[in-house]
Chain A
């Protein structure tokens, strides 16, 4: 039993880390802030720990207990769970949409758009329905591969780094920070609230350590990617590119025979987006299932079909 719990903590850490990366790298939300990018990223990394430390205990109290006959508690739980479930569905849409646009724009520019959407959404729906242990195993395998790829790509990128592009600058005034706060809130804090909800429903009782640790590790992975992008391109040029990290990796070569290493970075994008979408869908299913158990069973395929339809029409 003890052994199982230790293993589960590691698995959950991996899950939280990949969720934290999610579609953040594809969206590259700091592109609007120019030279402040690295400072804001570090600020958002600190902010990313807030859900793990504050929201998780709250969700545990409200969502994990059985719904009793007390109307006040029921209303409070419903008021929390239903908006969070709806937001989780929105995160599924954003994560899937970002990955599918990225993949159809960069990986398969000329073909396979519908096939790609079908395959990816199929994986999301399937993963959201497997048991917690299945999702954990998938997370750990992906995490090990992703970490190896990110570290290797960072090391290969070192000869291309320009130290003059490095600089940590925080917003100079309250007005500047106020302009960046919505970005931080939207991109890092809110999606991680869904992860806290998922952990409150699915994780063992002491999930906060795995949640906080995983979030910190995820921020570490993001930091490596952001640093690689910044030190290769500089903040202002990186902000002009559509997918800066993929482009920063694309220029790498090892020796005379290994070129175009960006394929390894696709693993990061794929695994992180897939896991974020699957966890969000699983969280929405579980949150909705507290109140409408029969309806919740059909939520993953229905959500997958709707997203597929929108993507096909778009």
Chain B
């Protein structure tokens, strides 16, 4: 699609359509929380006119990907290196519709070491496996980035030896979610 062929009321978009009409988004317009988008996107949501691209948190670091939106639209993203996807990123806006990135809730395993030396050991163990972790009081939370079984298999001996307890909320989101990485957020 060349500029000359953009319809008069074209939506604001960072995308181009390929020969087969797949849109390639090459910039992020802003955050759905920004004043310039917030009210209108809220209104469009009531009209069921907001399409969402659901991404895992681990995919937010990607600059290029091909994906299918909730509405079943196949799209691609090719961002410059300095741009980052984030929860609420607006890819398309206007003409009665919008496309917004939403990040799926992360799963975390909550582990509670039974004493300080075992906590040190568990921390070393998680670091040695390059697991992404957060701390919450006396607990260590491990992000489940692949199959949960993979983590539980690795933790098996630790749990069986009573060195740590697995707190029963394996599918809960982290209680203190990190803010989106967008500078305007």
Q: Do A and B bind each other?
A: no
Residues of B within 8 A of A (CB): none
